[in-house]
Chain A
């Protein structure tokens, strides 16, 4: 057993940490700043990162190798390990600025779209609505069958959380064999339509996607069962890592605030109610860190890692949410202000808990396996 990071991993982590501190955390103030002195009634609109800032950040992230982590620049370099990706996403989770390395799933490696994706000319999103309920293949309802020079997808209504994307990856099951397949859908193919956008309570949008008599070319089927499951697991690891970042930031800021804020003549840090919240958070953050790293390590060593990834996601996302909840409570009135990042973490982490398997479903699957 050796739980030390390798020199390469340390370097990657340090690079990511510096990038996040210098480029992202530094810009938080500007991003979170309230633009008007008095707001119109109602919930404030969704926050978006200034497109110019975004473009600058993409360029800088590329320069330091923190972009398109799954894809290597050339045939000689190997893509980043799962452990390294966890370390990177963990750092990016520490900021509320909506910016993180683009995720280009490994199934896209051989695809002609990979170049524009890496260049951030186009974007890709996962249309995995049917997966989010259980985090497994069981939830996939849409069927596909072979047609003339390609496949026909069954009629489907789902929600997509990234309505602006140019490409979607979409899982469906084959009629008869029931095995899952993974399709690449271009936004403009016939039979696919995306409805009107709504704001989510996180700073993201949602829109209904409809497939009706949607025909796709043969090469748009990118993989089968394993590829879909692997994609779910790697997304779970990404969410777990991001949640670790949220937890770390919320804990760090809460410690700092508790040291400085004085009530009734003593710093908050001297109050047991505050101390215990932070101690419990530390236990949960620490255990989630090891679960996530172990799952990623298993992925790198070609050991089964799907269950480990699901567990890491479930616990880490819950921990992230609780960390944000604690940070809000300790920051008091400031905690719920939009000029501070904690309410944003709170909204985001609540969403993360619902993606790629809700807690109850992941638990139930584990329990049922144990009982049979």
Chain B
């Protein structure tokens, strides 16, 4: 057994740590009042469209950071070798995110490439994958529908074959950034199929006739997911991602890969929130004494979350099935983050809800995390299903 990062992972972690210390943390005061759109790596497209000079100022700062990160060799981390990246594994990427989360600046290293796009074949590679790796294009993920969320096997959008094309009809709910994305990864089913059968993934360019982004929807989390409508939208079969009828595996792979990042992000956000609690208690020794036990409890839980996350990521790196681990991490992480924030607000009081503060920001973001990419109830369902299928053998050490 060895709980240490490998020498390569450790040197990468150190590099990121250095970057956070010298580049991100000094910018923190400046970002205290930054608008919410600087969330995640796809901030650019949205922020660039803004006419607000204040936003433009932040765009400039973040673009400067990007250049510095790229120069430091920290940009194409999880991109596979054959696409010119460093092919950093899950454990390495968890270590990277853990360092980044030590700063409250919403900054990610690398362009956001949806992991299922690595299934691109032939012309798709130049048209969709490369531009995403280079940061020239962004994508949205169209799975949920008005009547199918937690259970995506109920999706109703249809893809009817017609010669060399498919005709898409249906409505998609909540793809984030679809309004500014260059294409959408859309899941639809072949006519006459049910459940997981016949689900097919299409890559559909924004602006394709019959595909409309009808509106964006404001949410508590500050993200603005969209509603998409497909009316007799004709898509050539060359834009099927993977194989026709084999889309279910892709949607599961997309969901699985993100879980461990959710774990370490919740860990980082909780740490920031507890840091804010610490600051607020600095002037009040009596209050601090009262809260010390609860804070200690949460720090212990976070330690547990961290080790659970690293274990899952490590197992994923061994090419083992990690769907159950992913469910454990997603459930534990998002529920714990929620409890930490709830506690923090009880300590800090109403002023903790000041919109620009760390706690208020976390309060709004965290609420949606218990829902998106599979609500807690679905995670519990996945875990119990595995328990009844495999028994405690599921918990055996490897």
Contact = CB atoms under 8 A, between A and B. Distances in A.
B294 interface: yes
Contact of A367 (B5, B295, B380, B384): B295
B398 interface: yes
A3 interface: yes
A371 B398 contact: no
Interface stretch (B25-33, B72-80, B305-313): B305-313
A317 interface: no
A278 interface: yes
Contacts of B294: 363, 367
Secondary structure type dominating chain A contacts: helix
A366 B274 contact: no
A4 B383 contact: no
Given A83-B1, A275-B381, A285-B395, A1 B91 contact: yes
B397 A367 contact: no
B: contact size bracket: 35 or more
Interface in A309-328: 311, 314-315
A196 B148 CA distance: 68
B296 A3 contact: no
A363 to B, nearest CB: 4
B310 A275 contact: no
A165 interface: no
B384 A276 contact: yes
Contacts of B278: 370-371
Contact of B388 (A255, A287, A289, A365): A255
B281 A371 contact: yes
> What does DSSP make chain B's interface, helix, strand, loop or mixed?
helix
B287 to A, nearest CB: 10
A2 interface: yes
A365 B331 CA distance: 28
A259 B391 CA distance: 11
B304 A363 contact: no
Interface residues of A, number: 50
Nearest to B398: A4
Contacts of A365: 296
B354 interface: no
Contact of B314 (A3, A276, A294): A3
Given A275-B384, A282-B395, A287-B304, A294 B3 contact: yes
B350 interface: no
B395 A289 contact: yes
Contacts of B281: 371
B380 A371 contact: no
A287 B307 contact: yes
B292 interface: yes
B391 A252 contact: yes
A255 B392 contact: yes
B300 interface: yes
A370 B311 contact: no
Interface string A344-370: 000000000000000110111111101
Contact of B299 (A288, A297, A370): A370
Nearest to A4: B398
Contact of A315 (B300, B310, B381): B300
Contacts of A297: 1-3
Given A252-B391, A275-B380, A283-B331, A368 B397 contact: no
B387 interface: yes
Interface string B331-346: 1100000000000000
Contacts of A2: 1-2, 314
Interface string A174-200: 000000000000000000000000000
Interface in A269-291: 269, 275-276, 278-280, 282-283, 285-291
Interface string B358-398: 00000000000000000000011101100110011011011
A134 interface: no
Given A3-B398, A6-B1, A294-B3, A283 B328 contact: yes
Nearest to B390: A255
Contacts of B314: 1-3
Interface in B271-312: 274, 278, 281, 288, 291-297, 299-301, 303-305, 307-308, 310-311
16 contacts: A3-B398, A13-B397, A255-B392, A275-B381, A276-B380, A279-B387, A287-B304, A290-B308, A290-B310, A297-B1, A363-B295, A367-B292, A368-B292, A370-B274, A370-B278, A371-B292
Interface of B: 1-6, 9, 91, 274, 278, 281, 288, 291-297, 299-301, 303-305, 307-308, 310-311, 314-315, 328, 331-332, 379-381, 383-384, 387-388, 391-392, 394-395, 397-398
